[in-house]
Amino acid sequence: MAYGLALGVGQFGLLFSAIKLGMPAGLASLVVQVQGFFTIGLAFVLLGERLSRFQALGALVALGGIGLIAGERFEATALVPLLMVLLAAFFWGVSNIASKEAGRIDMLAFVVWSSLVPILPLLGLSLLFEGPAAMGEALGGGVSWPILGIIGFNGYCATLLGFGLWSYLLARYPAGLIAPLSLLVPVVGMASAFVLLGETMTGLEVVGSALVFAGLVVNVFGPRLWARRRKAIS
C-alpha cells in the first residue's frame, strides 16, 4: 500500500500533472532526480544507514551538475509545477524506502500488486479536478495507436520492468549506493534528444552532465578504487 500510494499517486500523479501545467518534460526528468538525495536522507533518518565519504562527495558533485543543467532552464518554469515535481521526487524517495523495507522478495510481483493501489485514488482525483466530461473526452476521442503505445511502454517497460529491477537493487544494496544512479536519467534523456531530435546542448549542460557522471563514478566506484590504491601502496 505504501509503495503503491507513494509511487503511483504521489510521484506519477504530481509529475504528470506538473507537465500538464507547463513544466517542460526534459526539465521535469531532471528535477525529479533529486529523489536520490531524498532517498539517502530518508534512509539515514529511518533506516540508520550511514553515508561513506565517497557517497557524500559523489552526491555533492552530481548535485552540482544537476544545478548547472537546471540553471539553464529554470527561467521558463513556473513555481507551482516546479514545486510539484520536487514533491514528486520526495514521494519517489518514500517508495524507495518502502521497497527496501519489503526485503528480498519477488520484486516483479511486488510491483505488479502495488500497481493496483493507485487506481481508485487516481480515478477519484481525476473526477475531482478534471471532471467526468474530461475523462469521457479522453477515452472517447483521444485514444490512438501512439497513445496506446505510450501507455503500454509506461505500464510494462517503465513500471513493471524498470521499477521491478530498481526495487530489486534497492532491496539488496544500500540506498545511498543505488539511488544516485537515477541521475543518469536526465543525461541519457538529453543525449537521446540530441541524437534523435537534433536538439543541442549548451556548454553548461555539457559541463553539468560531466559532473553528474563524475559524481556517479565517485559514489559507485570510489570505495573500490581507494581500497585498491591503499592495497597497492601497502
Q: Identify the pLDDT of residue 13.
A: 94
Taking only the tens of pLDDT, the chain with its 234 residues reads 999 999 999 999 999 999 888 887 777 888 888 888 888 889 888 988 887 888 888 888 888 888 887 777 666 556 788 889 999 999 999 998 998 888 888 888 888 899 999 999 999 999 988 888 887 777 776 678 888 888 898 888 888 888 888 888 878 887 767 777 777 787 887 787 788 777 777 788 888 888 888 888 887 788 877 888 887 777
Q: What is the 3-state secondary structure (H, E, C) of the chain?
A: CHHHHHHHHHHHHHHHHHHHCCCCHHHHHHHHHHHHHHHHHHHHHHHCCCCCHHHHHHHHHHHHHHHHHHHCCHHHCCHHHHHHHHHHHHHHHHHHHHHHHCCCCCHHHHHHHHCCCCHHHHHHHHHHHCHHHHHHHHHHHCCCHHHHHHHHHHHHHHHHHHHHHHHHHHHHCCHHHHHHHHHHHHHHHHHHHHHHHCCCCCHHHHHHHHHHHHHHHHHHHHHHHHHHHHHHHC
